[in-house]
């Protein structure tokens, strides 16, 4: 055992001396591995951080929440021409569902509105996502109020001229003033701000921070029932513990009967579940990871070839020295470990430098980007270390074996 430890120690010392002797060559070899490890770990860390942020934003939502509408939220086999002929989901559909479908904890009717302009005195904010939606969304989306309150079910049903706004919108319109009780103009009409949501931060691209929520029935009073070509949906949250497959089956059956669809006719609506959306997001994240591996893998391949090339050059340059070492009694394993250590040290140090660069960039990004946290996890750091070690071993094994099998006499003669 002590003999092997001594061989390891001496081989390691020879490898370090060889690297120190050829500083420029060592630096160029490090650079290839550094770029490869940096590329892979940076991509993986960015995708992991994005995935974590999205999951945080969806954590307060019930994954069994369903959207009954004419549109599919994911890929579908229903042809486009048929989907275009589906009827819009309207308020009457919502009334039917909430009164006739059992095991519903909460439901809401939403009109997917466009961008509107909101004015308060001299302040104007354009391109605001104003969402006309009934009171139930407060429970379904688990909205958190920072100031004031959300509109009541009575205000929702009667179409009261009230509005609840997001944190960023409140800051843009009112600065340091308390928005609650202030009167703003939306759709050219006066509405009273009764609540401000807590700040959520950006995530999936649909943060409530810049939104405004108004009762759907308020908009239906002056916009042709609230449609005017804008799509609507019935949002449904089933009761806890309900069999989701059975609930969806009953929902479709009752809604088909309400629409007057015959047994041989296809559905003219879609039931989209948030759980399906989460699975779709997971598939996108997996694809991003795969693409990152493929692209960054080329950088690692180049780095590995660079180390292998350098090691072959080192073997060629030190052929005479190898012959002398073997003539003085150095075993094949000593020569083998010497070159393997050299290749592994190059790769590991290059990988550590790449990880350091990723960490520095993560710190810089976290300092400048407020709502998005770039996280370099321990698993990704460990993966980078292992990858760099494996690259060093693979890149150095063939040169090391070729060096260990050199005949001492021929090696000395070749060197001379």
| Alpha carbon 61 to chain centroid, angstroms | 17
Higher-pLDDT residue of 7, 124: 124
Alpha-carbon span 60 to 44, nearest angstrom: 25
Higher-pLDDT residue of 345, 182: 182
Alpha-carbon span 229 to 70, nearest angstrom: 12
**Residue 232 class from Cβ within 10 Å (0-12 exposed, 13-18 middle, 19+ buried)?**
buried
Q: Measure Cα distances from 15 to 61, 311, 403 in Å.
A: 57, 11, 13
pLDDT at 161 over 90: yes
pLDDT at 226 over 50: no
pLDDT at 362 over 90: no
Mean pLDDT of 319-336: 68
Rounded to 5°, the CA angle 344-347-349 comes to 105
pLDDT at 243 over 80: yes
First to last CA, the chain: 36
pLDDT of residue 387: 75
Q: Give me the helix-helix angle, 332-368 and 2-21, nearest 10°.
A: 60
**Where residue 57 falls among pLDDT bands split at 50, 70, 90?**
low
Mean pLDDT of 99-124: 87
Which of 72, 65, 78, 66 minimizes the C-alpha distance to 270? 72
pLDDT of residue 227: 46
Which pTM does this prediction carry? 0.60
| From 33-37, 55-59, 194-198, the region with the lowest mean pLDDT | 55-59
Higher-pLDDT residue of 329, 172: 172
**Where residue 225 falls among pLDDT bands split at 50, 70, 90?**
very low
pLDDT of residue 411: 57
Mean pLDDT of 96-112: 90
Mean pLDDT of 80-106: 89
Higher-pLDDT residue of 7, 83: 83
Most confident of 255-269, 310-324, 333-347: 255-269
Mean pLDDT of 325-351: 71
Mean pLDDT of 8-19: 58
% of the chain at pLDDT higher than 90? 15
Higher-pLDDT residue of 273, 7: 273
Which of 367, 332, 289 minimizes the C-alpha distance to 45? 289
| Alpha carbon 247 to chain centroid, angstroms | 31
pLDDT at 311 over 50: yes
Higher-pLDDT residue of 354, 396: 354
| From 355-359, 370-374, 395-399, the region with the lowest mean pLDDT | 370-374
Token code pair at residue 209: 């921070």
pLDDT of residue 2: 52
**Where residue 96 falls among pLDDT bands split at 50, 70, 90?**
very high
pLDDT in tens, 284-300: 777 777 777 777 677 67
- Looking at every residue in the chain, the average pLDDT score rounds to 78
**Where residue 164 falls among pLDDT bands split at 50, 70, 90?**
very high
pLDDT at 29 over 60: yes
| From 164-178, 186-200, 213-227, the region with the lowest mean pLDDT | 213-227
Alpha-carbon span 208 to 39, nearest angstrom: 33
% of the chain at pLDDT higher than 70? 75
| From 30-34, 83-87, 94-98, 244-248, the region with the lowest mean pLDDT | 30-34
Using left for φ > 0, alpha for ψ between -120 and 50, and beta otherwise, residue 205 falls in: left
Higher-pLDDT residue of 197, 398: 197
pLDDT of residue 133: 92
**Where residue 50 falls among pLDDT bands split at 50, 70, 90?**
confident
Pairing of strands 189-197, 183-186: antiparallel
Three-state SS letters, 378-416: HHHHHHHHHHHHHHHHHHHHHHHHHHHCCCHHHHHHHHC
């Amino acid at each position: 055992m002590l003999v092997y430890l001594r061989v390891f120690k001496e081989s390691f010392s020879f490898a370090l001396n060889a690297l120190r002797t050829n500083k420029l060559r060592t630096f160029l070899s490090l650079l290839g591995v550094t770029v490869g490890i940096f590329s892979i770990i940076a991509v993986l860390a960015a995708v992991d951080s994005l995935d974590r942020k999205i999951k945080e934003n969806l954590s307060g939502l019930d994954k069994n929440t369903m959207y009954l509408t004419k549109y599919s939220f994911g890929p579908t086999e229903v042809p486009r021409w048929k989907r275009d002929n589906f009827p819009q989901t309207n308020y009457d559909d919502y009334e039917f569902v909430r009164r006739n479908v059992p095991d519903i904890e909460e439901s809401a009717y939403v009109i997917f509105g466009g961008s509107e302009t909101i004015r308060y005195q001299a302040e104007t904010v354009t391109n605001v996502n104003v969402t006309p939606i009934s009171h139930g969304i407060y429970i379904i989306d688990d909205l958190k109020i920072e100031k004031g309150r959300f509109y009541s079910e009575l205000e929702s049903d009667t179409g009261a001229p009230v509005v609840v706004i997001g944190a960023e919108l409140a800051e843009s319109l009112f600065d340091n003033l308390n928005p609650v009780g202030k009167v703003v103009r939306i759709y050219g009409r006066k509405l009273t701000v009764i609540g401000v949501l807590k700040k959520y931060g950006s995530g999936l691209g649909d943060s409530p921070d810049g939104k405004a929520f108004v009762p759907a029935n308020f908009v239906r009073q002056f916009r042709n029932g609230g449609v005017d070509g804008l799509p609507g949906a019935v949002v449904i949250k089933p009761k806890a513990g309900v069999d989701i497959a059975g609930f969806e089956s009953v929902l479709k059956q009752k809604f088909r009967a309400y629409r007057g669809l015959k047994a041989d006719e296809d559905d003219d609506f879609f039931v989209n579940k948030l759980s399906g959306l989460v699975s779709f997001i997971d598939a996108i994240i997996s694809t991003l990871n795969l693409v990152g591996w493929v692209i960054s893998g080329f950088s690692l391949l180049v780095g590995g070839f660079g180390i292998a090339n350098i090691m072959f050059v080192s073997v060629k340059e030190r052929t005479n020295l190898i012959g002398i070492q073997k003539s003085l009694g150095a075993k094949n394993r000593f020569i083998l470990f010497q070159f393997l250590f050299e290749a592994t040290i190059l790769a590991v140090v290059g990988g550590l430098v790449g990880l350091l660069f990723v960490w520095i960039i993560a710190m810089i990004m976290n300092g400048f980007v407020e709502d998005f946290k770039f996280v370099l996890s321990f698993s990704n750091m460990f993966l980078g270390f292992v990858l760099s070690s494996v690259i060093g071993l693979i890149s150095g094994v063939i040169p090391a074996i070729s060096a260990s099998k050199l005949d001492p006499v021929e090696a000395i003669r070749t060197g001379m």
